[in-house]
Structure 1
Amino acid sequence: MVNFTGKYFNSIDAKGRAIIPARFREELARAYDDDRLVVTEGDGGLDCYPVPQWKEIVARIDALEPGQFKDDLYMTTVSPAIECSFDRQGRIQLTPALREHAGLVGETREFVAIGVSNKIRIMTRQQHADQRAQAQERLRQNPQARYNLGL
């Protein structure tokens, strides 16, 4: 099982390639002996999964009963997904559609890559700041839950 942690600042080059931090690449190789990720649209950015985990996710979605929920998951998560391999510099090629979804177009090329347990999330610095502020506010509203976790 993989456990991505950490926060890293980087940028996308003119060709749409994003450097994935070495620490994340090392964790991927350690856990799966693989150098591929599946990148898909996520909430406020892109979510990157190890290929074996992605296959399990898709299998669980495929096992759902036919209906709107399953169709929605395909429309928003499965269909936009692409498999990416790392080049020699540790970069993955993001499609224009994925870059647009994440807001990484035009002059906005800087991003934050954060480890979120089983996946890597890529988002603009502003998206990260906004989501982090919202999370901090929600946590402030329930300090006992953090205390119970020893935080």
Structure 2
Amino acid sequence: MSNFLGEFDCKLDDRNRLMIPANLMKQLPGADSEGLVVNRGFEKHLVIYTKKEWDIIVEDLSKLNQYEKRTREFIRYFTRGATHLTLDKLNRVVLSKVLMDYAGIKAEVILACQLNKIELWARDAYEDQMDSEPENFANLAEEVMGNKARRGDE
């Protein structure tokens, strides 16, 4: 499983091309040959996966019971707009207009690494999201992580 780190300010050029920053490219071995996959996020942003991570997700999805209506709906909405991204020689990818419109992306974006994926946000949407940090982040941490066994205690 990949583990990406960092937050990167980027700009799209007039052809909707996003240059992947050099420090992020170092964390994406094989991306130049295998490409990446971009998809809609659960909030109004996009998510970029390595091809390897996307294949793991698709394998998990294929194990779900597609005879159940809610499962079909989830798969349909989750994979809607998923697109293979090919990097050019300058480590740029072209984002589709449909996905950009979904996420409200214009020219300025933030790439925010989140464990095994990279979130791609319109700059203003990302700032709004981060400005709504819970009043007591420590309480949220306890609620989410409090019942987790400490490493080595399992």
| Superposition deviation, residue 127 in structure 1 | 1.2
| Superposition deviation, residue 41 in structure 1 | 0.5
Q: TM-score, structure 2 length as denominator?
A: 0.81
Query: In the TM superposition, what are the counterparts of 1:30-45 in structure 2 within 5 Å?
Result: 33-35=30-32, 36-42=35-41, 43-45=43-45
Taking only aligned residues, the RMSD between alpha carbons, in angstroms, comes to 2.3
The sequence identity of aligned pairs, in percent, is: 25
| Superposition deviation, residue 145 in structure 1 | 6.2
Structure 1 stretches lacking a partner, 5+ long: none
Q: Is the 8 A contact 2:2 2:53 kept in 1?
A: no
Counterpart residue identity of residue 97, structure 1: V
Output the CA distance in 2 between the equivalents of 1:134 and 1:74: 29
Between Structure 1 and Structure 2, the one with more helix by share is 1
SS in 2 for 1:86: coil
Aligned residues: 143
Larger Cα-atom Rg:
2
Counterpart residue identity of residue 17, structure 1: R
1:49 matched residue in structure 2: 49
CA distance 1:96–1:141, shift in 2 (3 Å): same
1:90 matched residue in structure 2: 91
Once the two structures are superposed, residues 32-73 of structure 1 have per-residue CA deviations (whole angstroms, 9 ceiling, x without a partner) of x33211000002210000101101101111110122332223
| Superposition deviation, residue 28 in structure 1 | 1.0
1:64 matched residue in structure 2: 64
Runs of 4+ with deviation above 6 angstroms: none
Q: Is the 8 A contact 1:61 1:73 kept in 2?
A: no
Counterpart residue identity of residue 82, structure 2: A
2:152 matched residue in structure 1: none
Q: Is the 8 A contact 1:5 1:116 kept in 2?
A: yes
2:12 matched residue in structure 1: 12
Query: In the TM superposition, what are the counterparts of 1:114-129 in structure 2 within 5 Å?
Result: 114-129=112-127
Output the CA distance in 1 between the equivalents of 2:94 and 2:19: 9
Compare 38-47 and 128-137 and name the one that shifted more.
Answer: 128-137
